[in-house]
Amino acid sequence: MDKLLIEGGKVLSGEVAMSGAKNAALPILCASLLTAEPVHFTNVPHLNDISTMLRLLGDMGVGVTMDGVDGLVLNGGGLNNPVASYEMVKTMRASILVLGPLVARGGEARVSLPGGCAIGARPVDQHIKGLQAMGAEVKVEQGYVHAKATRLKGARICTDMVTVTGTENLMMAACLAEGETIIENAAREPEVVDLANCLISMGARISGAGTDVIRIQGVDKLHGATHAIMPDRIETGTYLCAAAVTGGDIRLLKTSAAYLDTVVDKLMDAGCDITVERDAIHLVAPKRLKAVSLRTAPYPAFPTDMQAQFMAINCVADGVATIRETIFENRFMHVNELMRLGANIQIEGNNAIVRGVERLEGATVMATDLRASASLVIAALVADGETLIDRIYHLDRGYERIEEKLAKLGASVKRVH
Q: Toward ligand UD1, which CB reaches closer, 75 or 197? A: 197
275 vs 261: CA distance, rounded Å: 12
Question: Which span sits near ligand UD1 by CB under 6 A: 39-47, 164-172, 196-204, 376-384?
Answer: 164-172
Binding of ligand UD1 at residue 184 (CB under 6 A)? no
Does residue 264 contact residue 257 with C-beta atoms inside 8 Å?
A: yes
**What torsion do the CA atoms of 350, 353, 359, 362 make, to the nearest 10 degrees?**
-20
Contact between 236 and ligand UD1 by CB under 6 A: the answer reads: no
Interacting positions 350-389 with ligand UD1 (CB under 6 A): none
The dihedral through the CA atoms of 355, 360, 361, 365 has a sign that is positive
Minimum gap (Å) between residue 26 Cβ and ligand UD1: 5
As measured in angstroms, the least distance from the Cβ of 64 to ligand UD1 is: 19
Q: Which is nearer to ligand UD1, 130 or 224 (CB)?
A: 130
Please pick, from the candidates 89, 312, 327, 352, the single residue that binds ligand UD1 as defined by CB under 6 A: 327
Should residue 238 be labelled a site residue for ligand UD1 when binding is judged by CB under 6 A? no
| 197 forms part of the interface with ligand UD1 (CB under 6 A) | no
Give the residue with the Cβ less far from ligand UD1, 126 or 368: 126
**Does 264 contact ligand UD1 by CB under 6 A?**
no
Q: How many CB atoms within 10 Å of residue 184?
A: 12
Please list the active-site residues. 117
Determine, following the binding rule CB under 6 A, whether residue 309 of this chain makes contact with ligand UD1: no
Residue 198 Cβ, how far from ligand UD1 at the closest point, in Å? 15
Q: 190 preceded by cis ω (within 30°)?
A: no
Determine the Cα–Cα distance for residues 186 and 179; give it in Å rounded to an integer: 19
Query: Beta 205-207 vs 213-217: how paired, if at all?
Result: antiparallel
If the CB atoms of residues 310 and 328 are measured against ligand UD1, the closer one turns out to be 328
Q: How many residues does the chain have?
A: 417
Q: For residue 99, state whether it binds ligand UD1 (rule: CB under 6 A).
A: no
Residue 294 binding ligand UD1, by CB under 6 A = no
Residue 26 interacts with ligand UD1 (CB under 6 A): yes or no: yes
- Of 102-161, binders to ligand UD1 (CB under 6 A) are 120-127, 161
Site membership for ligand UD1, residue 25 (CB under 6 A): no
Smallest separation (angstroms) from ligand UD1 to the CB of 336: 20
**Dist CA 280 CA 105 (whole Å):** 39
DSSP track, 262-311: HHHHHHHHTT-EEEE-SSEEEEE--SSPBP--EEB-STTSB-GGGHHHHH
Residue from the set 310, 328, 332, 399 that interacts with ligand UD1 by CB under 6 A: 328
Q: Which is nearer to ligand UD1, 324 or 408 (CB)?
A: 324
Among 38, 82, 166, 342, binds ligand UD1 (CB under 6 A): 166
| Site for ligand UD1, residues 214 to 233, rule: CB under 6 A | none
Q: What is the residue type of 272? A: C
In angstroms, the CA 130 to CA 170 distance is 6
Which listed range, 5-13, 163-171, 176-184, 355-363, lies at the site for ligand UD1 (CB under 6 A)?
A: 163-171
Cβ-based neighbour number of residue 273 at 10 Å: 12
Closer of 161 and 268 to ligand UD1 (Cβ): 161
Give the separation between CA 368 and CA 379, rounded to whole angstroms.
15
Evaluate whether 174 touches 130 at the Cβ level (below 8 Å).
no
45 is an interface residue for ligand UD1 by CB under 6 A: no
The nearest distance, CB 334 to ligand UD1, in angstroms, is 14
| Phi-psi map region of 198: left, alpha, beta (phi>0 left; psi -120 to 50 alpha) | alpha
C-alpha count within 13 angstroms, C-beta hemisphere, residue 107? 3
Say if residues 191 and 164 touch (Cβ distance below 8 Å): yes
Q: Report the C-alpha gap between 334 and 309 in whole angstroms.
A: 10
As measured in angstroms, the least distance from the Cβ of 355 to ligand UD1 is 26
Judged by CB, which is closer to ligand UD1: 105, or 127? 127
Count of CA atoms in the C-beta half-sphere (13 A) of 65: 9
User: Whose Cβ is closer to ligand UD1: residue 283's or residue 302's?
Assistant: 302
Examine residue 94 and tell whether it contacts ligand UD1 (CB under 6 A): yes
Point out which residues bind ligand UD1 (CB under 6 A): 23, 26, 93-94, 120-127, 161, 163-166, 191, 304-305, 327-328
